[in-house]
Structure 1
Amino acid sequence: MRWEDLDREHCSLARTLSVIGDRWTLMVLRECFLGMHRFEEFEARLGIARHVLADRLKKLAEAGVLAKHLYQERPRREEYRLTETGLDLYPVILGLVQWGDKHMAGTEGAPLLRVHKTCGKVMDGVVVCSECGEPVRARDVRVEAGPGAGEETLPRPARAS
């Protein structure tokens, strides 16, 4: 499997990685979720090369993750806002952040806390079953072939214990 061919794989993870699977793209998304919208803001916060940033923003816009909005006519300036498709990435970003808070933050603890606006409490995101509402962990899930599966993505048979 070649990196540039991920978007053609019969695997939702591979296709997702073809859009958001590099460090600069994930850092741009982090900034979007923290309220950044403008090229200069991304550039200053991330210390990213202009051409790399322009490439990542273009790719995210082409994938429908970000939408450009004009905020100034002369000179023409646009900002980047998360679309509904982009907002759907929040659980992914939250999961990565929580993993980092648990395994990479060090003794000082998490650098940022997430407060649920509804109840006002510091929270952790939890994956729950859409059908029964129970929390879900990796060992609680069995994978089966779906309608878009290809031969190379079919689950392997379970090993006998």
Structure 2
Amino acid sequence: MALAQEQIQYLITYVHDKSGAQAVITGNKNIAGSFSRLAGRAALVIPVWLALRAAYMSFIRTIQMGVQHIVDFDKAMARVLAVTHGVADTKRFIFDLKDEIQGLAIETGTAVEKIAEAFYRFGTAGHDATIATEGMKIALKTSIAIMGDVEQTA
């Protein structure tokens, strides 16, 4: 009987003493508060991180595309050099032609590789450098007028 009375006393004390339950509730509130702070931080950090990543990738992609255009233009100019004939100073002619092609590209918005390819097509047809240069300009203007491709127009 004494054991049962001790158990009853323990239960009464346990029911009236809420310190254990209070500790659990307080701990849960702390966890909920920590989780909400973590969610708020994530809501702020993730978009910033994504924006910085997109800016970085865009910068890298721009550099890669620029290098690729330079390589393609150099290849096109090497092909142009192979079909250039009928000029006294070939190096000077290629230098001037390169400047002219770049100027036309800026003026018309056409890729420098395509304009150089038009010169190459006239050169492979057997025309000398002067006629090929004029043909390149005419093909470029015609392709713009008919909204066609410079290479096909040449």
Global fold match (TM > 0.5): no
TM-score (norm 1): 0.20
TM-score (norm 2): 0.21
Q: Which has the higher strand share?
A: 1
Q: Which has the higher helix share?
A: 2
